[in-house]
Amino acid sequence: MRYDYLILRTIEARNSYSNIFLCECLRIIGGVTFLGELLFIGLGLYGIKSLSLAGLEEARKADAVFLETYTSLMPALSIVELEKLVGKCISIVSRQDLEQEEGRKILDEAKRGKAALLVPGDPLIATTHVDLRIRAKRQGIESYVVHGASIVSAAIGLSGLQNYKFGRSVTIPLSENGYFSEAPYRTILENRVM
Same-domain pairing of 142 and 186: no
Same-domain pairing of 125 and 90: yes
CA-based Rg of the chain, rounded to a whole angstrom?
20
Looking at residue 19, its pLDDT comes to 47
Q: Domain containing 43: what range?
A: 35-154
Same-domain pairing of 21 and 113: no
Residue 159 counted as domain residue: no
**Residue 194 — pLDDT band, cuts 50, 70, 90?**
low
Same-domain pairing of 29 and 5: yes
What total of structural domains would you count in the chain? 3
Encode pLDDT of 7-49 as tens digits. Answer: 444 444 444 444 445 555 555 565 555 578 999 999 999 888 9
How many other CB atoms are there within 10 angstroms of residue 62's CB atom? 24
Residue 160 counted as domain residue: no
Task: Supply angle C-alpha 126, 130, 135, rounded to 5.
Answer: 145
More confident residue, 159 or 106: 106
Strand ranges (DSSP E) for 30-188?
Answer: 37-42, 64-68, 90-93, 114-119, 142-146
Compute φ and ψ for 116, nearest 5 degrees: -125, 135
